[in-house]
Amino acid sequence: MTVSLALWSVCVQPGEDGVAAVSPPADIRVTNIALSDQLADETGRTTVKLNYIVPNAEDSEDEEEDEDEEDENPPRMETTVLCSLTPGKIEQATVDVVLTQDDEFLIEVVGKNSVYLSGNYIDQTPDDVPYNDDSEPESDEEDFDLSMDPEEMDGISDDADRFEEIQEESAPVASKKRTREADAETPEKLTKAQKKKLKAESGAAVPSGSDAKVDAAKTNGDAVKDKKDKKEKEKEKKPETRTLESGIQITDVTVGKGPQAKKGNTVNMRYIGKLANGKVFDSNTKGAPFSFTLGRGEVIKGWDIGVAGMQAGGERKLVVPPKLGYGAKKSGPIPPNSTLTFEVKMVDIK
């Protein structure tokens, strides 16, 4: 997984040299090359070349030899064309080239116009993003073959105990059966139709009496009321989904307690990340929780926006559109333009 850290740019001037030497202190991803706003040649083409060193395959053996002995196979320089720009036709080009840390590169301009190269410093192996707990995957399949079946994790409210910290027991359900004492007081004289409706716990007909109609009506009324109360409680328990202006969908499955998380807080999280087809691509459900500082850009925008406002112990479902996730580029097992679903739990706030 790659995280952008800071903006990077360089201007290469034409001339006898027409070369800029770059030895980055961190990995750089070059994403755009454009002509300068001031043109020395309004019709001529300007070509941008990248000269880079190809390591010798025998370097490791050479390091073991005596330092005074000359290297018979020195590294060689290769050249590739990044783009060609012409005013009025093609004045900028999108590229995707990574200049690796501490390596040496020469950017060469052939033509009369200055060019600007821009991009970002990147971290290709961060420890503080929602990926795997210990290390980057060796392949898309092996590291994401979780022991937990994705179908067993569908519905965060149905499987709340999958996080280590959740240990909730279901409350005992009160019995709705009538006591034998109440049945024993049922009056006599009921019609046959009424006798069929009034049954004791054993299944036998209840003796009839003058007040049986009132008792039957009360029993039926209580049953209707209990059914209505049950539906209202289920409706109250069902979490509501809200969509923010950014496009992210938030569902608070469980509301936590204490202060709400805000920008600058360090939060410890559990999470399960899924693709649109339900496949789990990443998770943190045990061991050390995933920790990051809210609102600092340490995670995808969908997390900075979606986790804000949660309380300790709270659980939330986030549906993150591509523009707030990993965008139009493939990231590990995540295809381009993917809508992602995260089931998250806030362990605590610091």
Q: How far apart are CA 65 and CA 134, in angstroms?
A: 36
Evaluate the CA torsion angle 57, 62, 68, 70 in order and state its sign: negative
Give the tokens for residue 50: 């990248």
Residue 348 a catalytic site member: no
Give the tokens for residue 27: 């990995």
Task: Please give the DSSP secondary-structure letter assigned to residue 312.
Answer: B
Q: How far apart are CA 189 and CA 195, in angstroms?
A: 9
Task: Name the active-site residue from 156, 163, 342, 349.
Answer: 342
Q: What is the DSSP string of 108-163?
A: EEESSS-EEEEEEEEESS-SSSSS-SSS--SSTTTTT--SS-GGGGS-GGG-GGGS
Task: Name the active-site residue from 27, 143, 215, 282.
Answer: 282
Place of tokens 């479902």: 317
Q: How far apart are CA 337 and CA 329, in angstroms?
A: 7
Task: Name the active-site residue from 131, 281, 290, 292.
Answer: 281
Residue 107 a catalytic site member: no
Q: How far apart are CA 298 and CA 52, in angstroms?
A: 31
Residue 300 a catalytic site member: yes
Task: Name the active-site residue from 52, 121, 271, 292.
Answer: 271
Give the tokens for residue 110: 């052939």
Q: Could you tell me which of 252, 346, 248, 344 has the C-alpha nearest to residue 305?
A: 248
Q: How far apart are CA 84 and CA 274, in angstroms?
A: 41
Give the tokens for residue 304: 């900075």
Task: Name the active-site residue from 156, 300, 305, 349.
Answer: 300
Residue 52 a catalytic site member: no
CA atoms within 13 A on the CB side of 212: 22
Identify the H or E element spanning 222.
helix 212-237
CB 12 within 8 A of CB 103: no
| 203 φψ region: left (φ > 0), alpha (ψ -120 to 50), beta (else) | left
Task: Name the active-site residue from 163, 326, 334, 349.
Answer: 326
Q: Which residues carry out catalysis?
A: 271, 281-282, 300, 326, 342
